[in-house]
Every structure is written in structure tokens, then in C-alpha cells.
Amino acid sequence: MDSVVRFLFDNIGNICSTKKISDTLGTMGRKNSVNTVESYITALTESYILYKVNRYDIKGKQHLKTLEKYYLSDMGLRNYLLGNKVNTDMGYVLENIIFLELKRRGYEIYIGKTEEKEIDFVVSNQDGLRYIQVALTVKDKDTLERELKPLGNIRDHFPKILITFDFVPVSYHNGIKQINAIEFLLDKEKI
């Protein structure tokens, strides 16, 4: 179980499958069946250590049963278990923090899928849907284009938001609203 926990804590915000986890552990000399891995993950989600987020096909308007993501309920657990490595993947840490805030605000949360692209979050509440991408920084033009492309490919008229750690005023890119993560977390900027 320790290896499964370490794997999941190290892969927050990444698409995972129980088979992938089982296979990875097998290559490390720790054989586990897919059923065993599933039971460990179930225990972690039922104890609210991890949250499971399912995928949603935006074009087909259907929930997908495979390749979900997991987010931690307490980033301190990750820091304790993985140590200093955490500073190398701050983009995933920010994504986890945004997930927790969306959950706190009562949104129903999914991972979006449009053809070959992924949307970090498709969220809904009584006000409707919103599409959200999260990136540590988009100061590099190529990174900005990469983060905006999946949102730009969505052809409905629900709000599309890019949340970054960049300290810039609210801006728009072809109708996609870019906001600062801190302003969002302090509830100074709405999505």
C-alpha cells in the first residue's frame, strides 16, 4: 500500500488507471494485482485522503469510466511523504489547490476531454457549466497557446477560464478569461 500511496501522491493531477499503477509497481519488483490496487485506492478515497475525478467527454456529453485523476485532500501529507521533490512540480500543486477550492465552493467537478486535448476541470453548479485550465505561468507564448487551445476548441458558450499564478490583471484571449490564482482563491475574482 505504501508504494500505491507514494505513486498517487507523486502523480496528482495526472491521468491514472489502476492497471498503470499495478504495471508500474510490477516493474519496480512489487507485484500487485489490479484488484488489490483498486481496493487500496477505494480505501484512500473513502477515507477522504484522495478525491477521484472522472473524465467527461465534452463533445459527446457523456461521462467516461476510465482514466481518472486523483487529488489530495491535504498537501501536507504529500510534502511529508515525498519531501523536497514537491518544489519541482508546482503546476500540479496549484492544480490540486484549485481543485480543493472548487470542491469547497460546491462545484461538481470533472476532467474534460475534447478529442485529443484535455481540459483540467469541467465544473457545474446551479449557474451552469464552466471550463477551467490551470497553469503555473503562461508568460511564454508557446505555453499560453498550449493552455488556450483546448478551451478554444470548445464550441459552446459556457465560460472558459485560465487560472495562473502570473500576477497580471484580468485579461481575455478570444473570450477566454485569464485570472490570477490568488485573486480566485481570495474570492476577489469570480469564475
For the chain, give percent helix, strand, coil, nearest 5: 40, 30, 30
Buried-exposed string 117-131: b where 16+ CB fall within 10 A, e elsewhere: eebbbbbeeeeebbb
| Residues linked to residue 51 through DSSP beta bridges, in sequence order | 71
> pLDDT tens digits, residue range 127-176?
999 999 999 999 999 999 999 999 998 888 999 999 999 999 999 999 99
> pLDDT tens digits, residue range 7-63?
899 889 888 888 888 888 888 887 788 899 999 999 999 999 999 998 877 665 555
| Residues linked to residue 163 through DSSP beta bridges, in sequence order | 134, 179
Domain ranges of the chain: 2-185
Non-local (6+) Cβ contacts of 84 within 8 A are none
At 62 the pLDDT is 52
At 89 the pLDDT is 82
For residues 105-126, give the mean pLDDT: 89
d(CA 135, CA 164): 5
Q: What is the pTM of this model?
A: 0.89
- Binned at pLDDT 50, 70 and 90, residue 117 comes out as confident
